[in-house]
Amino acid sequence: MMTAVTERTAGLGTPTCVRRLGLATLVANIGIVITGGAVRLSGSGLGCPTWPRCTDESFTPHGALDLHSAIEFGNRTLTFVLITIALATFLSALNTGRADLRKLAVLLGLSVPAQALLGGVTVLTGLNPWVVAFHLLFSMGIISLAVLYLHRTDHPAVPKVEERAPASVSKPRHLILAWSTYAAAWVVLALGTVVTGSGPHAGDAEAPRNGLDPLQLSQLHADFVFLLVGLTVALVIVHPSRATWTLLAVELGQGLIGFVQYVTDLPVVLVAFHLLGASLVAATVTWVVIEVREGYARRT
């Protein structure tokens, strides 16, 4: 049966199609972050007050339809778009005959129902800020995985650095810097979700906040942003490339948006752009660490 499936979908296995579907996976997962942000920023987080149904009586809003329920229900229906893209991505990976692409495609496919379940938990917990934060970070993880998949479409996996480098050879400073930058980026992203959980734009007027001090959290978040930018500047110096320069540009743009939104009391439009920026940080820092790590692995 699997052979019949691959025969019918053989066209999906061409290099161009595989790469385009990989790009579609990345764009779709960044898009779901933006639409999820629109749900929260419009106060529509509980537009469908239960899950998996929209209301106790129906999977769709129907007679109870208003702007908030339409926005929330619309975001839920995008899951089917993600499922379609994930299925096409898996079939294209299957037709390449490459185990590395197939494994990554399976993980990307499984992330769709996992993310939907997390979305359900956020609704059923009344938009608990910690659950909402994890929901967003999970999306960032999927974006990171999608970048790896997209990279793999053109660059087959190489053995781990530890398996290729002689024991007497120490890791170069740019590899250490790349992993340090990646770790710092995730601390920044995590702190950003905590800052969000302490301020406005909860997704619903009745949604709880985490009770932490927004001012202190914002300062802590800013401190780690400076650390991240500093590490990235060092990485650009020792490993100048399109990836590292792009990461630095994304960070500076994201930092500017973050500063302006803070001093202007978090206008909805800027918060939405900040969400996009967070997605781009997750994507570009993954690009950097893959490039540096695999470049070193191929040279050893």
Q: What is the pLDDT of residues 194-213, one digit of tens each?
A: 999 998 888 887 889 999 99
Nearest to 142 by CA among 231, 79, 227: 79
Percent of the chain clearing pLDDT 70 (strictly above): 89
Angstrom distances, CA of residue 45 to CA of 196, 245, 265: 14, 37, 21
Report residue 19 as tokens: 């790469």
Q: What is the CATH number of the domain that holds 205?
A: 1.20.120
Average pLDDT, the chain: 89
How does pLDDT run across 154-175, given as a tens digit for each residue?
988 776 654 455 544 456 888 9
Given this model, what pLDDT does residue 300 score? 60
With a CB cutoff of 8 Å and minimum separation 6, the contacts of 72 are: 39, 44, 45, 46, 47, 48, 54
Whether residue 191 is found in the same domain as residue 123: no
Whether residue 227 is found in the same domain as residue 104: no
What total of structural domains would you count in the chain? Answer: 2
Residue 13 pLDDT class (50, 70, 90 cuts): confident
Whether residue 6 is found in the same domain as residue 95: yes
Can the peptide bond before residue 208 be classed as cis, meaning omega within 30 degrees of 0?
no
Range of the structural domain that residue 267 is part of: 163-300
What is the spatial distance between Cα 193 and Cα 185, in angstroms, rounded to a whole number?
A: 13
Domain boundary among 105, 127, 157: 157
- Residues 29-45 have a mean pLDDT of 93
Domain boundary among 157, 185, 220: 157
Whether residue 136 is found in the same domain as residue 202: no
Whether residue 74 is found in the same domain as residue 199: no
Whether residue 200 is found in the same domain as residue 79: no
Domain boundary among 139, 157, 175: 157
Query: pTM for this structure?
Result: 0.91
What is the spatial distance between Cα 193 and Cα 296, in angstroms, rounded to a whole number?
A: 33
Whether residue 88 is found in the same domain as residue 223: no
DSSP designation for 171: P
How does pLDDT run across 107-139, given as a tens digit for each residue?
999 999 999 999 999 999 999 999 999 999 999
Given this model, what pLDDT does residue 68 score? 86
Whether residue 26 is found in the same domain as residue 147: yes
Is the pLDDT confidence value at 224 over 80?
Answer: yes
Whether residue 86 is found in the same domain as residue 196: no
